[in-house]
């Protein structure tokens, strides 16, 4: 499963000062803030720092960057560079763009994660059957040792590619925009489909693994830039992001649908034909990109707010060159400029909401961030400092373990339950239930994930994750059919929850400025370690004679220990930070009260006649 799957927000706010700086002495804290200022290279940060987009000195608005080596830019104050303003494109065309992008994700972004549905077809078609020993062939085993290892490596390489490729694709997206990503993605998908088809047609051509590699690479190229389409309708951006994320989850069902057709046609609809038919998808994406899909990103909400700020400035109706015009012409020119400015402001308000709506949305978002308890913990720290902290190390350790465990389960679910239930038929029932539940649960869970992450503190979400992880470890070791179904249900709901929670944790703790480097490192490390899945598979089939319980128990116990350590550390840090903030708030209130009292005393001591003329009181006023 790809870690980049549930990165939802495209822009947000970072704290001006990391919360951990509250524990520094005043001199060191000031030095830390000066160092942080040097890292504020984005245009949004500069404008926000000037007080246009928020409370000055409290937070800075940033657009999320996937670039692992971002290039600092010198912003020009007051300019909202780059991007296409949504109202300049018709509503109908923007709707078509959203629909096309969601469909592209549905049919292309994560099809390799439907491996559990494809694997039975590969076995029936004899893929890698040549690796079996003569003894295994004589015994007519359904799948032999080396064949099974090679099939599982077929998937583990693809899942690793989906994660690691997010780094270069993210850099490409940030620097060259979505068009090049979609076109490259279509090229990779077409290459993968052709290689897969040829591998089934040419007996001695082993193009399966490299073909699946290109399918995974193409999926990342299509999925990553798809989030940008949410800016086409800023007021509904959250819903569009949910659609894109749900489409990624649903894409795992592509191979499921093919398997249903394969079985219904009595195996006459061969894989070589399917992968040739699948070429329709990359061709359609290319046509859509070259005709009506946007060639550049739409402006973010931060950039639109900057345009609103400019449109609200009535002084922009006055130009220095007006003095050269006749009086009647000056009035006409300024009135025309004012009309255009107000029309532009009206269109912008329609896109993002009026001032009241924007303010309410901003306050609501700030409350959600504060409720997490961790927002701003390491904001405006260097990526190196962030990656050396327990916040990063514990998260990475837990993610590595979960990545291996989840992808190992996807690749071997049928073999695990064949051994545990002692029946191929019962194992097929669990596998079929999993094939349906995997994409469906992701789609169902997506709308609820945002509510959970917005209304539950980060320590609470982490605790929930550890609880589900532990429950899966226990139930996954019970060799009964009902336990198999329950295990599948827990797994398919844990998967989107885990990746959503991790990306949410990363933006809140580390911030948007270093997201590409910090979260990208987690993705890369987890993806590379995922290659150990083949070794774990060999250990299970060799040392443990096919029994998956020892490996599952070890991975579950390791995840429980690392997860408990992460929950404990985050909970303690949140408590310390809140206590420190409460103390500073109390000190501020006390100082304010003392200042008010002193000010009142000074006013009472001042001669009433100083600087003022008072009339003489009458006797009845004494």
Nearest-CA neighbor of 396 among 208, 566, 199?
566
* Each residue's pLDDT tens digit, 193-222: 999 999 999 887 888 999 999 999 999 999
**Can you list the pairs that 553-557 forms with residues at least 24 positions away whose Cβ atoms lie under 8 Å?**
553/473, 553/477, 555/401, 555/404, 555/405, 555/408, 555/473, 556/405, 556/469, 556/470, 556/472, 556/473, 556/474, 556/476, 557/473
111/511: higher pLDDT: 111
Q: Where are the alpha helices (H) located in 316-423, listed in sequence order?
A: 327-352, 355-372, 383-387, 390-421
363/78: higher pLDDT: 363
* Each residue's pLDDT tens digit, 120-133: 999 999 999 999 99
pTM of the model: 0.82
DSSP bridge partners of 60: 14
- Give whichever of 267-281, 299-313, 495-509 has the largest mean pLDDT: 267-281
Backbone angles phi, psi at 63, to 5 degrees: -95, 135
Nearest-CA neighbor of 182 among 167, 193, 172, 191?
172
61-98 residues labelled b (16+ CB within 10 A) or e (exposed): bbbbbbbbebeeeebeeeebeebebbeeeeeeebeebb
By CB atoms closer than 10 A (0-12, 13-18, 19+), residue 280 is exposed
- Give whichever of 211-220, 316-325, 505-514 has the largest mean pLDDT: 211-220
- Res 390: pLDDT: 94
What is the token pair recorded at 611?
């600087």
- Res 25: pLDDT: 61
3-state secondary structure of 525: helix
* Each residue's pLDDT tens digit, 161-197: 988 888 888 888 888 889 999 999 999 999 999 999 9
**Residue 492 · residue 409 · CB < 8 Å:** no
Average pLDDT of the chain to the nearest whole number? 82
- Res 32: pLDDT: 55
Backbone angles phi, psi at 11, to 5 degrees: -150, 160
How far apart (Å, rounded) are the C-alpha atoms in residues 130 and 132?
5
CA atoms lying within 13 Å on the CB side of residue 462: 30
- Res 608: pLDDT: 47
**Residue 67 · residue 174 · CB < 8 Å:** yes
For the chain, the C-alpha Rg in angstroms (whole number) is 30
Res 79 pLDDT > 70: no
298/486: higher pLDDT: 486
- Res 83: pLDDT: 79
pLDDT more than 90, % of the chain:
41
Q: Give the DSSP letter of residue 618.
A: P
**Residue 253 · residue 79 · CB < 8 Å:** no
**Can you list the pairs that 464-470 forms with residues at least 24 positions away whose Cβ atoms lie under 8 Å?**
464/497, 465/494, 465/497, 465/498, 465/501, 465/563, 466/559, 466/560, 466/563, 466/564, 466/567, 468/493, 468/494, 468/497, 469/402, 469/494, 469/556, 469/559, 469/560, 469/563, 470/556, 470/560
169/75: higher pLDDT: 169
- Res 227: pLDDT: 86
CB atoms within 10 A of CB 317: 17
**Average of pLDDT values for 510-526?**
83
CA-based torsion, 361, 366, 369, 375: positive or negative: positive
Fold of 372-594: Growth Hormone; Chain: A; (1.20.1250)
**Residue 533 · residue 541 · CB < 8 Å:** no
Res 470 pLDDT > 90: yes
**Residue 35 · residue 147 · CB < 8 Å:** no
- Res 322: pLDDT: 67
How far apart (Å, rounded) are the C-alpha atoms in residues 156 and 162?
10
pLDDT more than 70, % of the chain:
82
* Each residue's pLDDT tens digit, 559-612: 999 999 999 999 999 988 888 877 776 666 665 555 555 555 555 554 544 444
- CATH architecture, domain 83-299: Up-down Bundle (1.20)
* Each residue's pLDDT tens digit, 398-428: 999 999 999 899 999 999 999 999 999 999 9
**Residue 215 · residue 208 · CB < 8 Å:** no
Res 316 pLDDT > 90: no
- Res 31: pLDDT: 56
Res 279 pLDDT > 80: yes
What is the token pair recorded at 369?
């961030």
What is the token pair recorded at 190?
């077409």
- Res 43: pLDDT: 40
Equal CATH topology for 83-299 and 372-594: yes
115-124 vs 145-164: helix axis angle to the nearest 10?
Answer: 150
**Average of pLDDT values for 23-42?**
53
DSSP bridge partners of 84: 298
In the chain, where the domains are located: 83-299, 301-353, 372-594
Res 548 pLDDT > 70: yes
- Res 24: pLDDT: 62
**Average of pLDDT values for 84-93?**
90
């Amino acid at each position: 499963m790809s870690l980049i799957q549930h990165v939802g927000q495209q822009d947000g706010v970072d704290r001006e000062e990391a919360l951990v700086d509250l524990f520094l002495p005043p001199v060191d804290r000031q030095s830390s803030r000066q160092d942080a200022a040097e890292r504020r290279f984005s245009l949004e940060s500069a404008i926000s720092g000037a007080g246009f987009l928020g409370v000055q000195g409290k937070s800075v608005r940033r657009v999320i960057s996937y670039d692992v080596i971002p290039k600092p830019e010198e912003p020009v104050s007051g300019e909202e560079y780059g991007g296409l303003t949504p109202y300049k494109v018709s509503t109908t065309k923007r709707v078509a763009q959203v629909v096309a992008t969601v469909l592209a994700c549905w049919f292309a972004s994560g099809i390799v994660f439907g491996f559990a549905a494809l694997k039975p077809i590969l076995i029936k078609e004899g893929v890698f059957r040549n690796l079996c020993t003569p003894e295994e062939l004589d015994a007519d085993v359904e799948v032999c040792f080396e064949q099974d290892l090679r099939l599982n490596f077929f998937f583990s390489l693809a899942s690793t590619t989906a994660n690691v490729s997010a780094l270069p694709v993210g850099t490409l997206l940030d620097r060259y925009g979505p068009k090049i990503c979609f076109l490259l993605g279509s090229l990779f998908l077409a290459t993968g489909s052709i290689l897969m088809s040829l591998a089934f047609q040419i007996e001695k051509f082993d193009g399966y693994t490299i073909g699946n590699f290109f399918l995974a690479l193409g999926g990342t190229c299509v999925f990553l830039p798809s989030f940008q389409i949410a800016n086409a309708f800023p007021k509904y951006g959250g819903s569009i992001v949910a659609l894109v994320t749900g489409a990624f989850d649903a894409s795992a069902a592509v191979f499921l649908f093919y398997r249903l057709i394969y079985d219904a046609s009595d195996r006459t609809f061969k894989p070589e034909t399917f992968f040739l038919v699948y070429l329709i998808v990359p061709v359609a994406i290319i046509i859509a990109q070259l005709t009506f899909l946007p060639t550049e990103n739409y402006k973010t909400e931060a950039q639109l707010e900057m345009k609103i700020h400019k449109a609200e400035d009535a002084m922009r109706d006055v130009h220095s060159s007006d003095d050269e015009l006749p009086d009647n012409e000056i009035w006409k020119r300024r009135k025309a400029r004012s009309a255009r400015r107000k029309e532009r402001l009206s269109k912008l308000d329609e896109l993002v909401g009026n001032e009241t709506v924007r303010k309410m949305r901003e306050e609501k978002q700030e409350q959600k961030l504060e409720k997490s308890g961790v927002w701003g913990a390491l904001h405006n720290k260097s990526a190196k400092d962030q990656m050396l902290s327990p916040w990063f190390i514990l998260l990475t350790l837990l993610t590595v373990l979960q990545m291996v465990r989840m992808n190992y389960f996807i690749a071997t679910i049928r073999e695990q339950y064949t051994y545990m239930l002692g029946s191929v038929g019962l194992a097929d029932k669990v596998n079929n239930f999993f094939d349906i539940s995997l994409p469906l649960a992701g789609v169902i869970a997506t709308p609820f994930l945002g509510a959970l992450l917005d209304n539950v503190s980060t320590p609470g979400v982490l605790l929930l994750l550890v609880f589900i992880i532990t429950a899966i470890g226990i139930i996954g070791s019970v060799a009964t059919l009902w336990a198999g179904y329950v295990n599948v249900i827990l797994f398919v709901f844990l998967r989107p929850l885990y990746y959503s929670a991790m990306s949410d944790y990363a933006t809140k703790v580390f911030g948007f400025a270093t997201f590409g480097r910090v979260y990208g490192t987690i993705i890369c490390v987890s993806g590379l370690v995922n290659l150990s899945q083949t070794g774990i598979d060999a250990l299970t089939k060799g040392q443990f004679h096919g029994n998956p319980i020892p490996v599952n128990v070890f991975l579950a116990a390791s995840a429980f220990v690392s997860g408990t350590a992460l929950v404990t550390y985050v909970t303690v840090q949140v408590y310390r930070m809140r206590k420190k903030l409460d103390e500073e708030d109390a000190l501020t209130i006390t100082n304010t009260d003392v200042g008010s009292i002193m000010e009142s005393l000074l006013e009472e001591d001042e001669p009433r006649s100083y600087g003022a003329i008072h009339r003489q009181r009458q006797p009845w006023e004494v």
